[in-house]
Each structure stands twice: as C-alpha cells, then as structure tokens.
Structure 1
C-alpha cells in the first residue's frame, strides 16, 4: 500500500508540471499485486491457480496497453521473473541458496525488458552484474523510508532542471 501511495502522490504532485506520467512505483505496485495474487492462489489447485493468475495477468496487460505504465507489462512482470527463478531454483537445487535463482530469474527478466523496450532501456541489462554480485543476506541498513523521500525528490529535481532548460531555450 505505501509503495502505491507514494507513487500516486508523485503522479498527482507532478500533474501541473507536464500532465500525467507514470512512475516506477506504480509499476512496482502492480507487480506486488500480481505476486500477492500468485501467492494467495498457490494452494488452490493447479488449474484454478493457472486460471486466476492468467486472468490477473491479462487484466494488467490490458491496463498497460490502455494507461501509461512505466516499462509497460514487461516491467510489471520483472519481479515475477525473480519469484519464478526462486521457486524453480528451490525445487531443482535444494542445497544452493534460492536467492541465486531469484537473481538469475531477475536477470532473465531484465533481458526480456531490454528486448521489449529497446532504445536506451537496453542498458538495463548492465544492472545484471551488480545484482549477481550481491551477497546472500539482506543489507544491514534499513533504507526503505529513505527511498520514499528520495524518489519524489529526484523527480522534482529532474522536473526543475527540465523547466530551467526549457526556459533558457526560450
């Protein structure tokens, strides 16, 4: 809820400065909803699980085709690749930490995102290297609340720079 709320506040706050534009927090919120759905339906039988997951994914796909969502449907699926990588890894390589499968799934998702988005988004594949180099344990710093401030602040700075450059260009 707080990820979506921060994303919604950013969207609303920046409406006067250039109209509607999506942001990564809205995309991440859709990803979280999809993952919650998958988790909630996991024990409901294979056919029902597949039908419910496909229906929710179809709704999000149609949403991404009608409303601007940053990174589109490929971006919404990115965390799903990570979750699928983790699950597959747990079932195949029981003695190796599942976080490796999660990161490999995320890397495959980045490759898919780069292929679908094209352009400058192809550079997202460079994130694969630092992600694969991360350790197996969660970081010691609790940075979540910092990013709720950082995300809108960096958007405001970019918006201010854009306005200044447009004013200077005449």
Structure 2
C-alpha cells in the first residue's frame, strides 16, 4: 500500500512524537540523518525543536508520509533559502523512511512528493541536498534524478578515524513528469 503525503500538516503532539520516533528508529538502523547510533528520542528532541522553530518562522516546510495505519512512516524537510541570490532553490534535508518500510519504493515516492511540493512553491527551480558518503545514499538519489554537483572530502566525522565525504546533489525542477 502506498504512503499518503501531506505538506505542512498541523504539528500536534502526536505528530511530534511520530517524527521523533521515526528519527530515532532511522538513526538506530544506521540511517545518515544527523546522528550516530545509538540515539534516544530525548537526544533528537532539541534538533526537532530547531526544525520546528524554522517552520514557525516560515523558513522550513514539513512533508510527512503516513502508512495505511496513519503512522508517520516518512518525512522530509524543505528549507527555503533566505539569501537573496539563492531564493530560486531550496534545501531538502532529514529525508527519512522508517526501516520497516524500506525496500517498498517509499523512498522514491517521498522524493517525488518532495519535488512536487517544491514545484508548488513560487520561484523554486531546483532542490539541493547533501548526503553522507559511504552509505549508498548518493546512488539512491542519483537513481531518483539528482546529480552530484560537489563533494567535500572527509567533512563528516562519524567517529574517530571514520570521516565521510559530504556529497552535494541537485535536482533541477522542470514541469512535473506525466503520469502513465
């Protein structure tokens, strides 16, 4: 069954808890979403609060994917650029699909929904993201239409002696592809 996506849902305590639990589960399964396992919901909460503050300021939008039970199964944050010379593209970050749903095409569906959401924002021509090298995420994003446009060697320190590249990827937005 497909996920149901919603852009800018009402941020209720249930949604807060769902996003926090998703973030912890993805991190603890080895997902490269800003933490290194093991991580607890309490460790994630301050980062989520920073995301919420950006949402309240109108700088960030939240895309949520819910499974057939209504549980938060996927998320992505779309951050608008405030720099006057870069307002034609946005950042996509904290892209997550719950481990129990991986391998079902939900990641591709999430990225397609994020691209559609970006297209709905006036003046946005591209989506930019970064990912941690050595995880295979760059290959996944490339398969979804993103192209590598830069790489900062050893920019991410996962652990002492384990430095990873920060891979910069871009998806130029044209018209939405026709549905077949």
**What TM-score do you get using the length of structure 1 for normalisation?**
0.30
More strand by share: 2
More helix by share: 1
Q: Which has the larger Rg?
A: 1
